[in-house]
Amino acid sequence: MTIVHEPSATSEWWRTAVIYQVYPRSFADGDGDGVGDLPGITARLPHLAALGVDAVWLSPFYRSPQRDAGYDVADYRDIDPLFGTLADADAMIARAHDLGLKVVVDLVPNHTSSEHAWFQAALAAAPGSPERGRYLFRDGRGHGGVEPPNNWRSVFGGPAWTRVPDGQWYLHLFDSSQPDLDWTNPEVRAEIEDVLRFWLRRGVDGFRIDVAHGLVKEAGLPDWFGTVEMVSGTDPGAPEDGQSPAFGSGPMFDQDGVHEIYRSWRAVLDEFDAGGERRSRALVAEAWVEPLSRLARYVRDDEMQQAFNFSFLTTLWDAAAYRRTITESYAALDAVGAPATWVLSNHDVVRHPSRLGLAVPGSRPNGIFATDPQPDEELGLRRARAATLFMLALPGSAYVYQGEELGLPEHTSLPDDVREDPSYFRTLHEEAGRDGCRVPLPWVAGAPGLGFSPTGRTWLPQPASWAAYAADAQAGVAGSTLELYRAALALRRSLALGAGGLAWLDGFPDDVVAFRTAAAGETGAVVLANLGTTPVALPDGATVLLASADLPGDGTLPADVTVWLEA
């Protein structure tokens, strides 16, 4: 037995929470226009309470031209009419709190929309003006400044600079409709702190910070000859050790200066926590940063509370690789007293049942075209259920992306003319992009649009096969993915697994991830995940609490199955 993590001694909610990601345009549509909205979300919150999660995180619902599905914010203090009104947001927050759910909202501080009043003012003003000084406007290189100021590429493909009519260029790490703010400008800092206060006053419990590693750029904006891999980028293949290559380096990412910003935001949150439960509000970093020791810097005691563990998400289907990622995660995060987090899917990556059904299981293409080799749907779901079951047993906090509780696969046959992801366009159609993981959820098998909308309209078409995945087709059905998630979340809660310690167990084949987890004073559970190709023997006398697939009953654990055993 090798102990890699001690039980948690503190009890703030974000140390152990299971947080469900709602992608507002695709969760539930209240008004029938085919795009999900806040009233639709509010009406479906009981589904999340019944599922057994602790919190919801909502991707952006702010006023936006929707060039990057809302990650292009035109007004941080208003709701986009597509999604409703501020009163609808208040009602959603209140309903969630009534149901015992915390609410985390998305904050997009690296860039605004090009339709934000600040950027419009910058375009109207002269080079060198204070209006331009809120963004990263620069003169170009070469004769007449016709070349961009440096060689940076957008994460979505293409150059990271766009020229304006007077000849200057502005930086956009993402789409040209998403100009980067200049975080050395005190006005920018003051504005976003005020935005934090605006939403804290409305009662939110935390913020997920978009591109948290990108706000500060290296002084002088030097050329960069590496990749800008983050949310998109063709998977380079299968490294032999089961680990993807490191991401998040270069002069545009993970600069030391970002941390001072997070310390100041933390002070803003603490203003609201004074007198209440200590640190009841949380900041979560979306920081694609490796190694994990660099990621841990975002969650030091006076900075954020959590950071997404993308090293876990990008680990290939290999037991040794998972053991290594998990061990390194606890080592790095325990060193700063922060909870580990675990995530397998979100709105930026191919859904994990499909990733795990690829020839290189767990690899990460930026979307899948109908003409690409297709994932094995049955094998992928079997592995996805096994992966989820060991993820939900890991001490710390876990993220569940909407629809994964239904076992939804990626939509891999979307017609190209319905695609909206800017990365599809900016890679000149070389990469399918992220639309396939953003398809409206199936709620009711027999209803038009699978019950997503009262009119049956859906902003992206749903695959015909999704009727079988609809929530109503799985509720109460033994062995369904929905019931597996419900059972796992209930047991995780009753056994206090989120607050557990973790020890690797000896005596199992290398292909088995085997650990015991138990909170202080609890018995906990033994977890075995067989990532190999042949069945392995269960320990003598083992009592199975939960299994990700039917067990043969002969005392063995089949390939691609996880079990929780009585400890």
Shortest Å, Cβ 262 to ligand NOJ: 17
Over 95-159, what HEC string results? HHHHCCCEEEEEECCCECCCCCHHHHHHHHCCCCCCCHHHECEECCECHHHCECCCCCECCCCCE
Q: Are the CB atoms for 242 and 321 separated by under 8 Å?
A: yes
Shortest Å, Cβ 106 to ligand NOJ: 8
Nearest to ligand NOJ of 68, 229 (CB atom): 68
Among positions 211, 283, 313, 519, the unique one binding ligand NOJ when judged by CB under 6 A: 211
Element (H, E) at 170: strand 169-171
Question: 193 forms bridges with which residues in the sheet?
Answer: none
Catalytic-role residue among 98, 271, 302, 550? 271
| Amino acid identity, position 559 | A
Whole-angstrom Cα distance, residue 14 to residue 341?
10
Residue 240 contacts by C-beta under 8 Å, 6 or more apart in sequence?
none
First vs last C-alpha separation in the chain:
14
Nearest to ligand NOJ of 108, 471 (CB atom): 108
Helix axes 186-201, 258-273, angle to 10 degrees: 30
x/- binding map, residues 61-90, to ligand NOJ, per CB under 6 A? Answer: -------x--x-------------------
Whole-angstrom Cα distance, residue 434 to residue 438?
7
Nearest to ligand NOJ of 252, 559 (CB atom): 252
Shortest Å, Cβ 93 to ligand NOJ: 22
Residue with token string 């597509």: 82
Cis peptide preceding 127, ω within 30 of 0: no
CA 454, 460, 463, 469 torsion-angle sign: negative
Nearest to ligand NOJ of 75, 377 (CB atom): 75
Nearest to ligand NOJ of 212, 497 (CB atom): 212
Count of residues that interact with ligand NOJ, criterion CB under 6 A:
10
Whole-angstrom Cα distance, residue 528 to residue 509?
11
Nearest to ligand NOJ of 52, 109 (CB atom): 109
Whole-angstrom Cα distance, residue 347 to residue 437?
6
Cα 420 from chain centroid (whole Å) = 19
Burial class (CB in 10 A: 0-12, 13-18, 19+), 315: buried
Residues of span 214-253 touching ligand NOJ by CB under 6 A: 231
Shortest Å, Cβ 112 to ligand NOJ: 10
If one asks whether residue 254 binds ligand NOJ (CB under 6 A), the answer comes out as no
Nearest to ligand NOJ of 149, 433 (CB atom): 433
If one asks whether residue 287 binds ligand NOJ (CB under 6 A), the answer comes out as no
Nearest to ligand NOJ of 247, 508 (CB atom): 247
Shortest Å, Cβ 155 to ligand NOJ: 7
Residue with token string 């910058």: 122
Whole-angstrom Cα distance, residue 429 to residue 351?
20
Element (H, E) at 41: helix 38-51
Element (H, E) at 353: helix 352-355
Question: 562 forms bridges with which residues in the sheet?
Answer: 529
If one asks whether residue 108 binds ligand NOJ (CB under 6 A), the answer comes out as yes
Among positions 29, 37, 88, 210, the unique one binding ligand NOJ when judged by CB under 6 A: 210
Shortest Å, Cβ 19 to ligand NOJ: 15
Among positions 37, 54, 348, 420, the unique one binding ligand NOJ when judged by CB under 6 A: 348
If one asks whether residue 308 binds ligand NOJ (CB under 6 A), the answer comes out as no
Shortest Å, Cβ 217 to ligand NOJ: 15
Active site residue 106: no
Residues of span 416-475 touching ligand NOJ by CB under 6 A: none
Nearest to ligand NOJ of 182, 286 (CB atom): 286
Active site residue 420: no
Whole-angstrom Cα distance, residue 120 to residue 124?
6
Whole-angstrom Cα distance, residue 551 to residue 438?
33
Q: Kindly report each contact of residues 195-202 with a partner whose C-beta sits within 8 Å and lies 24 or more positions away, as own/partner.
A: 195/76, 195/77, 195/107, 196/107, 196/265, 196/268, 196/269, 197/268, 197/271, 198/76, 198/77, 199/105, 199/107, 200/268, 200/269, 200/272, 200/281, 202/86, 202/89, 202/90, 202/93
Shortest Å, Cβ 324 to ligand NOJ: 26
Shortest Å, Cβ 72 to ligand NOJ: 7
Shortest Å, Cβ 517 to ligand NOJ: 30
Nearest to ligand NOJ of 64, 562 (CB atom): 64
Tell me the DSSP string of 247-300. ---STTS--TTHHHHHHHHHHHHHHHHTTSSTT-SEEEE----SSHHHHGGGGS
Nearest to ligand NOJ of 69, 204 (CB atom): 69
Catalytic-role residue among 210, 318, 404, 405? 210
Q: Which residue is nearest to ligand NOJ (CB)?
A: 71
If one asks whether residue 174 binds ligand NOJ (CB under 6 A), the answer comes out as yes
If one asks whether residue 560 binds ligand NOJ (CB under 6 A), the answer comes out as no
Whole-angstrom Cα distance, residue 276 to residue 416?
51
Shortest Å, Cβ 381 to ligand NOJ: 24
Rg (CA), the chain: 23
Binding site for ligand NOJ (CB under 6 A): 68, 71, 108, 174, 210-211, 231, 286, 347-348
Which are the catalytic amino acids?
210, 271
